[in-house]
Structure 1
Amino acid sequence: MTRALLLSLSFLLALGVTAQAPAPSAAEAVRADDGSLVVRAPRVDVAPTLDGRLDDAAWAAARPADGFRQQTPQPGAAPAFQTEVRVVRDADALYVGARMHDSAPDSVVARLFRRDTNGYSDWFTVQIDSYDDDRSAFAFALNPRGVRRDYLLSNDTQQDDDWDAVWDGAAAVHADGWVAEIRIPLSQIRFQSGTPEWGINFTRRTARLGETSSWSPLSVQDDRYVSLFGTLAGVATAEPGRGLEVRPYAVTRATRAPVVEGNPFDERAALASSVGADLTYQLGSGLTVTATVNPDFGQVEADPSEVNLSAYETFFSERRPFFQEGTDIFQTTGATLFYSRRIGREPSAIVPEARYLDAPEASTILGATKLSGQVGDWSVGALSALTARESAPFVTGAGVEGVAAVEPATSYNVVRAQRRFRDGATTVGAIGTGVHRMQLDTPSLADRLPGDAVAGGVDVNHRFGQGTYQAFAAAFGSSVSGSAASIARLQRASARYYQRPDADHLAYDPERTRLSGVSALAGVSKIRGAFTYSGLVLGTSPGFELNDIGYLRQADQIAQEASVAYTLTQPSPAVRYLRLALYQSAGWTWGGEQTLLRLAPSVSTTFSSLWSAAISGDFRTGALDVAALRGGPALRTDPSVGVSGSVATDRRRPLRLIADGAADWRLGTTGRSLSAGLEASYRPAPNATLSLRLSGAHVSRPDQYVTTRSRASALDYVVGQLDQSSVSVTLRGDIALTPDLTVQLYAQPFLAAGRYDRFARVADPGARRPEDRYRALDATLDTDGAAYAVDADADGTADYAIGRPDFSVAEMNTNAVLRWQYRPGSALFLVWSRGQSQFDPSGTLDPLNGFPDLFLAEPRDTVLLKLSYWFGG
């Protein structure tokens, strides 16, 4: 009742003051019962014009929100300059007007760059928790040149920069500072009709001072964010948009590529076109349906180059817009049940008889649909996608032509629901995923891919002690079924290695047709204050499997983690931020074999000069590596000591440098790794940024796995001394002609080489001394340099051969992208990309010749033109 009377009184006062005198400070007058700040959004008949002036009559109807406090560098202190914000609305949109006072307006940092770039500039941001759930928010940011950024906030603190909304804004610098005006269509934010209040906060970044301030106070010593917002009143009668948004597009792609002599499928030049559409429909109940038909998922920037010699799959980030946006609901605590890069993946079947194969680079996605939003205290999400059956023509070595199925038609599905309690302080969620593969009618498909895979579970997050502490727990299960051959492949996969001869807790069964498992974790953490800590325990059974639609690096593990941290703000005149932390972890297999014992201290700081630095250590005891021999016995690892660090100069300067490096030594062996990088970022003009990063690494590993070979008396697990080096150069250039017309340039040449020698077989994999662990092999390189003949028993006769594992690889990825948003939500892309690569088995790294030779390698060039148009309210 008190809160309602206060809000009513505030509204009446606002009307009276509008007619008689300047409005009083919101900080003086309007607070909710819980002490949080309140700002009201009165409805206006005539919407303000976005011109960066704040002189429209509509703004006079609104009481200003002021009284900002620093978030950094001194939480809670008054900022250098005050900020005033007003909010009004009409039937279609919410309008936010902000005046950023500044005694030196000519020093306001007003740079021009591509939309969604969080560049060095002054910024004003409004963040709206329209579900009023204290966990999620829609954020809209504007800089003094009118550059726009938007992003989503979920789970209170997690930020998703890939979300894009259709909205508008204008900004201008004046004699007393600068002004930002923002129009946010109600169709672009999600809320339920009749919600009386929303959460809201405003933040301001004053770049030249390195200062961030906010209306509702925030702190780097508090791992909460959305739950600390103030209140936006006056929105009870707002109605969410219920219209249909359609974004059709057309793409034309021209490719010129090198051809392999004799390959009938290679084409020097090719031209292809396609059309498709994305559709969004708001159901009006807080739910939104998004669908895509024949989506174009071309990636503007390629995945980074690498040489992966580990047993595990590399995790790559998602770059496809449909799967980037609005999928935060599918995130779960403790396990990645949904990894969207599985959808539309490269076909996986092997055609052993093919000498030449014309397989697609990715599976065709016929269509995909998402449902997301909130109903009452429930957050829900569902996604379904269907990929086509893929076939590939091939030619055998004898010239026989054929067509082979390389990927079945597949249905991918995920559903998620989460219920909040205690105003969002407690959440309970559930998730389920399913993959169904159709027409596994050939051995190349049925023997490699399971027909069905399901997974699901529950997770709980609970904050208590006035938000100071957080407890969390989760439990998941999975089941995969298919042919005996496909399940046997899963049993032998690097996530579990059921075939390990020394693992009594594992039982490899080549006849089984189902693999099932469970995973669970629980933990507690302190998230407020200068001193914080956390701890968790995790257990994953050997049969747990997620990799049909999720991502799982390793099953068969029991893990424990703990960390403590102490954070200080402005501890001395020379230091504005200091964080001391200590991390500890340990791991075992399901059978009790210890695989990890690690201790990692770290220190990070930001100086008053706005230089920053960090250093960390890494200490590991000897343990067992269950993946080192690729299904062989667990191999003893040696103790190691590591250190890493970085230094970054003041980002306010036109030229900024970042240097980083790391080193690791395996005690008692020749094993070591070294890496270093130097990045320079330069702003030659207010609308341009150039960056150059040089990086190099060297790894010397005395027991890198090479192969497994059989002889009459035993299996030999062959390892070798690997010396691997790599160098790369990454160049980026961004030029903004207007906030809506930009050019981006990118190039990355990459060289890597590895040479093996001192081959040995594993004699006693659990021995603590390296000299007891291995026995040297007599390996002789044959005359054509393609293989080694190995005399394993020293009888003068070769027992087996191993292919020469040395390698030298070179790759070059280059692209240029022109983006023009010619109207809100509509864009034109013109993209040129080039890929070049080389390989030879020399094992030598020669950057002085390697980089010039790479530039001369025959390229694969692609030019792409994409045009999209947004229809919506």
Structure 2
Amino acid sequence: MPTGNKTPAGRVLFILLLLLICSGTATVGAQQKKSIEAVRTPDKMKIDGRLDEPSWPDAPSAGDFIIYNPHNGVPSSKRTEVRVLYDNDALYIGAMLYDEAPDSIFMELGERDEGDINADHFWIEISPFNDGLNGEMFKVSSTNVQIDNKLTTGDSWGHNDTWDAVWESHTSIVAEGWIAEIRIPYSALRFPGAENQLWGINFWREVRRNRETSSWNFVTKEFGATIAHLGELTGIRDIEPPLRLSLVPYVSGYLEHVSDEPGVGTSYNGGLDLKVGLTESFTLDATLIPDFGQVQSDDHVLNLSPYEVRYNEKRPFFMEGTELFNKGNIFYSRRIGGTPHLVRDVHGMIEDSEIVTRNPAEVSLLNATKISGRTDGGLGIGLFNAVTNSTWAEVENVLTGETRHIRTEPLTNYNMLVLDQTMKNDSYVSLMNTNVIRAAEKDEHFYTANVTGFEALLKSANRLWSASAGGSLSQKYYSAAETALGHSIGFNAGKTGGRFRTDYNFSLLSDTYDPNDMGYLRSNNEISHSLDFGYNTYEPFGNFMSTRTAVEFNYSQLYNPMAFTSADVELSGMVIFMNYWSFSLDLEFSPWGENDYFEPRTSDMSMYYHRPAAVEAGFRGDTDKSKRFYIEASGEYYRAWSDYGQHGYMWAFQPEFKVSRHFSFDYSISVEKMFNDIGYVSADPAEGITFGKRNVSTITNTVSGALVFTASSYLTLRGRHYWSRADYDGNYYTLQTDGALLDRIYSTTVDNSDVNTNFLNIDLIYTWRFAPGSELSLAWKNAIRGEGEQIITNGLENFSELFSMPQTNSISLKILYYLDYQNFRKLFRSK
């Protein structure tokens, strides 16, 4: 039997792999960091987009930009000059972005942090600790729209756009192109307390009309996030990290009307956000009596699955500066101020003569605090604490008129600690812990929960190979004598850079592992393996700008009892054309089907439903987003091989219109149909677990628009209607121990399984950023939610019925004002 690489085919394969690895190594090794010196300025700097202060010509310029996209590694087609100044308070960046056709520069306006508008862009990536893992990005459009992000190593760009800093910028169009002038106060940065600073920095430019993106220090597409490719900023010396102290007090008022209740309710709120620099590198952020009533409404859905729906975080305090707390995947901030534990159990806790008169669906947040930063040695430390108030339902006895209260959530304290040590080659090791303490007698609902975890990532010197490992231990303390322990383990290794990529991933979640008191885990009790191979091209050829192909093999089993659950193969491919259109295809095949232990909803995993072998195919296509009109479209098709004939499809279509530089809107529709779907209906000790056959239809329509008056004043609209119905066809089954189904008679007159669900949300918000960090917002929100057992198949009839359902309308005004200690100090010093 042939072994090793003795066969011709084996030798050829070995040589090809060696060439791929060596070519990637050569690419990385050829890179050299550029360096630019910052010059101290004695001038009183005015940020006006003119660069006319005497110090600007004294600073050396950074030029010779290199294209990132489309022709990675080729000199930029546009000349760019960037200079850096500094004083005791701030860093100043002046960029002259030459363009032979300044009248052709794209000039669309957008909201704050709207980075995909049709405008040219210039931005800075900066890492004061120069560790290749953490930093900040400050980006400005040709129309002076500001965008700022935290930089991480999460993906190819590694941007976390939930961070907002207070900084200044101004842009102007001139005969030679356009100018960007930026002031970044030291209070927006964290940096070592060294006499001579050495920071990582890179400058970027996007020419929107030809979609060319280039950078000062070369960034290869073949590996790593952009923060791993920074040049160096020298010359900054004898600066002291300033006292970072800022307050953002707010006041807000609400008018609210619920359609089936008389009158209009009013409420007023006031609170404070506080930011304090504890040291040059560590910051305390706190919010006291916060008000998040104006955040975008959640996209609610009809959930027929056994899993909890995960909703994205939209509250600013929990989105900004939380990079450290995302380590280990044990922190889900929506747990804080979420739904009370017993909100759905109240009706089962009352007498026949009692009714529930009040049952709050949301816990009140009293305060939250986070401390985060990084030492000169690269040790990141994060501390988080939040306190939520007790929540009570009110119950009235209709015979006596007496009322009583049922506690649905006690006073609760949430805590998290993270330690994250950076190492060379963009590697790190982290330790994290979450702890939830409820001020109540411990029982099955109110207990103390603790999760401790670690993760580590190691990369090779050329960043082409990596290995990571992690694990967590969850603990629940119901009483001094009763605890529940669970654990998770994960491992990943492979070639994660270059054109050819491959990696193996292993994950183990015990049946008792539960981080969900402060985290989110869709399901536990699983062991999974995956092995994938991919090949990417980054250089344009023919009509193709870049391509990506991959194949992935997955195998999963239950942890307890040890049993097979699924095995599948996934194929995917994507291409970006030279005209910036893109198209992707995905194919997934499950030849042995799936033994689903979660759909039967048994706590001991004693039953499973065998899903038949199936295939699923999907596509996605986009046109050029730099055009005034572009389209996104996608679709999927699913078919199972069974006697029940399960099949379905989904399609989505989204056109966007950029009507003018001030006004844009988009409309999206998605339609999902599943025919002869089999799912859980009910469970009874005598009759067993009942499944039913149903047709599930979901249609979602969303309209979004923005009317932008200036870069700091805009009106936004988002309206979403979600309509989903599950129509059971009268075929019901009893689940057998081998995963099969046995026909049975099921009385739908006792329990009608059909469901028709509607959600309508409209958010109309005017925002005026009247000063740096300060904001006035006026919002109107409309919410309609309805669910019934009568199936409506006609769309017009359903829409007309929608407005007969209970709805909530609210109008709110919120004003917050940014107060910074450094501004007051300079004001008094000038006087």
TM-score normalised by structure 2 residue count: 0.90
Q: CA deviation at 1:574?
A: 1.0
1:281 to 270, 276, 284: 276
Residue 672 of structure 2: aligned partner: 697
Once the two structures are superposed, the pairs formed by residues 198-597 of structure 1 within 5 Å of their partners are 198-259=199-260, 268-333=263-328, 336-349=329-342, 350-351=345-346, 352=348, 353=350, 355-376=355-376, 377-396=378-397, 398=399, 400-422=402-424, 425-440=426-441, 447-482=443-478, 513-590=482-559, 591-597=561-567
CA contact (8 A) 1:48 1:59 kept: no
Deviations 1:741-784 (A, max 9, x none): 010011111211111134333353425xxxxx2221123544xx
Report the 3-state secondary structure (helix = DSSP H, G, I; strand = E; otherwise coil) of the residue aligned with 2:223.
coil
Residue 811 of structure 1: aligned partner: 759
CA contact (8 A) 2:242 2:280 kept: no
Once the two structures are superposed, the pairs formed by residues 846-865 of structure 1 within 5 Å of their partners are 846-855=794-803, 857-865=805-813
Report the 3-state secondary structure (helix = DSSP H, G, I; strand = E; otherwise coil) of the residue aligned with 1:572.
coil
Once the two structures are superposed, the pairs formed by residues 524-673 of structure 1 within 5 Å of their partners are 524-590=493-559, 591-620=561-590, 621-631=592-602, 633-668=607-642, 669-673=644-648
Matched, 1:710 2:698: no
The 3 A distance-change label for structure 1 pair 763 and 462 is closer
Between the aligned partners of 2:759 and 2:426, the Cα distance in structure 1 is 49
Between the aligned partners of 2:145 and 2:819, the Cα distance in structure 1 is 22
CA contact (8 A) 1:758 1:777 kept: no
Deviations 1:706-740 (A, max 9, x none): 001233xxx42111101110112100010110110
Residue 149 of structure 1: aligned partner: 147
CA contact (8 A) 1:285 1:375 kept: no
Q: CA deviation at 1:856?
A: 5.3
CA contact (8 A) 2:734 2:744 kept: no
The 3 A distance-change label for structure 1 pair 762 and 705 is same
Report the 3-state secondary structure (helix = DSSP H, G, I; strand = E; otherwise coil) of the residue aligned with 1:427.
strand
Residue 320 of structure 2 aligns to which amino acid in structure 1? Answer: E
Q: CA deviation at 1:465?
A: 3.9
Residue 742 of structure 2: aligned partner: 775
CA contact (8 A) 1:636 1:765 kept: no
Report the 3-state secondary structure (helix = DSSP H, G, I; strand = E; otherwise coil) of the residue aligned with 2:797.
helix
Between the aligned partners of 1:651 and 1:171, the Cα distance in structure 2 is 23
Residue 141 of structure 2 aligns to which amino acid in structure 1? Answer: N
Residue 13 of structure 2: aligned partner: none
Between the aligned partners of 1:430 and 1:856, the Cα distance in structure 2 is 53
Deviations 1:532-565 (A, max 9, x none): 1221111111111101001111211111122222
Residue 494 of structure 1: aligned partner: none
Report the 3-state secondary structure (helix = DSSP H, G, I; strand = E; otherwise coil) of the residue aligned with 2:55.
helix
Between the aligned partners of 2:621 and 2:613, the Cα distance in structure 1 is 28
Matched, 1:114 2:111: yes
Between the aligned partners of 1:469 and 1:360, the Cα distance in structure 2 is 51
Deviations 1:483-513 (A, max 9, x none): 69xxxxxxxxxxxxxxxxxxxxxxxxxxx83
TM-score normalised by structure 1 residue count: 0.86
Q: CA deviation at 1:297?
A: 2.1
Report the 3-state secondary structure (helix = DSSP H, G, I; strand = E; otherwise coil) of the residue aligned with 1:46.
coil
Between the aligned partners of 1:451 and 1:763, the Cα distance in structure 2 is 34
Q: CA deviation at 1:132?
A: 1.6
1:751 to 695, 710, 723: 723
Report the 3-state secondary structure (helix = DSSP H, G, I; strand = E; otherwise coil) of the residue aligned with 1:208.
coil
Q: CA deviation at 1:397?
A: 5.7
The 3 A distance-change label for structure 1 pair 840 and 277 is same
1:824 to 752, 772, 784: 772
Residue 123 of structure 2 aligns to which amino acid in structure 1? Answer: T
The 3 A distance-change label for structure 1 pair 248 and 724 is same
Q: CA deviation at 1:66?
A: 0.7
CA contact (8 A) 2:153 2:225 kept: no
The 3 A distance-change label for structure 1 pair 300 and 224 is closer
CA contact (8 A) 1:129 1:200 kept: yes
The 3 A distance-change label for structure 1 pair 625 and 393 is same
The 3 A distance-change label for structure 1 pair 702 and 687 is closer
CA contact (8 A) 2:72 2:539 kept: no
CA contact (8 A) 1:127 1:202 kept: yes
Matched positions, count: 774
The 3 A distance-change label for structure 1 pair 258 and 191 is same
The 3 A distance-change label for structure 1 pair 649 and 156 is closer
Between the aligned partners of 2:274 and 2:333, the Cα distance in structure 1 is 19
2:43 to 37, 46, 68: 46
Residue 124 of structure 1: aligned partner: 122
Residue 325 of structure 1 aligns to which amino acid in structure 2? Answer: E
Between the aligned partners of 1:704 and 1:407, the Cα distance in structure 2 is 32
Structure 2: which 5+ residue stretches go unaligned? 1-28, 823-831
Residue 332 of structure 1 aligns to which amino acid in structure 2? Answer: K
Report the 3-state secondary structure (helix = DSSP H, G, I; strand = E; otherwise coil) of the residue aligned with 2:57.
helix
Q: CA deviation at 1:73?
A: 0.8
Matched, 1:732 2:725: no
Deviations 1:437-456 (A, max 9, x none): 0023xxxxx55524200111
Report the 3-state secondary structure (helix = DSSP H, G, I; strand = E; otherwise coil) of the residue aligned with 1:853.
helix
Residue 842 of structure 1: aligned partner: 790
Residue 666 of structure 2 aligns to which amino acid in structure 1? Answer: S
Between the aligned partners of 1:635 and 1:34, the Cα distance in structure 2 is 55
Between the aligned partners of 2:676 and 2:419, the Cα distance in structure 1 is 46
Report the 3-state secondary structure (helix = DSSP H, G, I; strand = E; otherwise coil) of the residue aligned with 1:322.
helix
Q: CA deviation at 1:258?
A: 2.1
Q: CA deviation at 1:840?
A: 2.4
The 3 A distance-change label for structure 1 pair 765 and 268 is farther
Between the aligned partners of 1:760 and 1:393, the Cα distance in structure 2 is 39
CA contact (8 A) 1:186 1:239 kept: no
The 3 A distance-change label for structure 1 pair 396 and 704 is farther
Between the aligned partners of 1:362 and 1:186, the Cα distance in structure 2 is 39
Between the aligned partners of 2:540 and 2:68, the Cα distance in structure 1 is 15
Structure 1: which 5+ residue stretches go unaligned? 1-31, 260-265, 441-445, 485-511, 768-772, 788-802
Residue 794 of structure 1: aligned partner: none
Between the aligned partners of 1:592 and 1:222, the Cα distance in structure 2 is 38
Report the 3-state secondary structure (helix = DSSP H, G, I; strand = E; otherwise coil) of the residue aligned with 1:166.
coil
Q: CA deviation at 1:858?
A: 4.8
Once the two structures are superposed, the pairs formed by residues 47-126 of structure 1 within 5 Å of their partners are 47-118=44-115, 119-126=117-124
Between the aligned partners of 2:31 and 2:584, the Cα distance in structure 1 is 39
Deviations 1:15-61 (A, max 9, x none): xxxxxxxxxxxxxxxxx998311111111111432222222212112
TM-align CA RMSD:
1.9
Q: CA deviation at 1:623?
A: 2.5
CA contact (8 A) 1:122 1:207 kept: yes
Between the aligned partners of 1:635 and 1:564, the Cα distance in structure 2 is 31
Report the 3-state secondary structure (helix = DSSP H, G, I; strand = E; otherwise coil) of the residue aligned with 1:242.
coil
Residue 553 of structure 1 aligns to which amino acid in structure 2? Answer: R
Q: CA deviation at 1:236?
A: 3.4
Between the aligned partners of 1:622 and 1:248, the Cα distance in structure 2 is 57
Report the 3-state secondary structure (helix = DSSP H, G, I; strand = E; otherwise coil) of the residue aligned with 2:801.
helix
